[in-house]
């Protein structure tokens, strides 16, 4: 790497050819890189602005965390903290550990196959966050499990 007076660094690969230029003063982009996650965050922020509801902006902010820091909730926890007919939002992934005995609607960024199957067997629904935001723009009666 050869520093230049303008703050740019030129990388030379093994063949002696210039590989790329990177500006030293510019940080690397952060945040989610999965296009589906980015679309979900944008849709939730838009739903929050249109409905004037803070809940969808809060969920979108939680989804901006790195993947390793996102929430993972098992079914036993959903069963423990809900009542039949509740609507639950998980700003992350729902995992299939445990069992669920109540009919609840669960919205999450993603579901494991076993979690989706067990929720359906209990009479509940597993929906995406965007679907729930479209059905309930105000976010009334929604619990966030984090």
Mean pLDDT of 134-143: 94
User: What's the distance, Cα to Cα, between the start and end of the chain in Å?
Assistant: 44
Rounded Cα–Cα distance for residues 123 and 73 (Å): 19
Question: pLDDT tens digits for 53-104?
Answer: 999 999 999 999 988 899 999 999 999 999 999 999 999 999 999 999 999 9
Structural domains in the chain, CATH included, are: 38-144 (3.100.10.10)
Taking the model in full, what pTM does it have?
Answer: 0.78
Please indicate whether residue 9 or residue 48 has the higher confidence score (pLDDT): 48
pLDDT at 30: 74
86, 104 Cβ separation under 8 angstroms: yes
Comparison of pLDDT for 23 and 124, the residue scoring more? 124
Residue reference for tokens 């520093």? 3
pLDDT of amino acid 32 = 87
Q: What is the pLDDT of residues 92-130, one digit of tens each?
A: 999 999 999 999 999 999 999 999 999 999 999 999 999
For residue 5, the model assigns a pLDDT of: 56
Q: Is the pLDDT of residue 10 over 80?
A: no
Structure-token pair, residue 17 = 């050819």
What pLDDT score does 31 carry? 79
């Amino acid at each position: 790497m050869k520093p230049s007076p303008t703050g740019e660094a030129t990388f030379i690969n093994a063949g002696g050819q210039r590989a790329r230029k990177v500006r030293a003063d510019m940080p690397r982009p952060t945040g989610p890189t999965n296009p589906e996650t980015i679309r979900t965050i944008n849709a939730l922020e838009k739903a929050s602005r249109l409905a004037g509801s803070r809940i969808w902006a809060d969920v979108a902010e939680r989804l901006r965390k790195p993947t390793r820091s996102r929430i993972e909730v098992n079914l036993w926890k959903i069963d423990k903290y809900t009542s039949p007919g509740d609507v639950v939002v998980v700003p992350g992934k729902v995992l299939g550990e445990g069992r669920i005995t109540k009919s609840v609607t669960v919205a999450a960024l993603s579901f494991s196959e076993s979690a989706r199957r067990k929720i359906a067997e209990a009479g509940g629904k597993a929906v995406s966050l965007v679907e729930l935001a479209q059905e309930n723009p105000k976010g009334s009666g929604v619990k966030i499990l984090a």
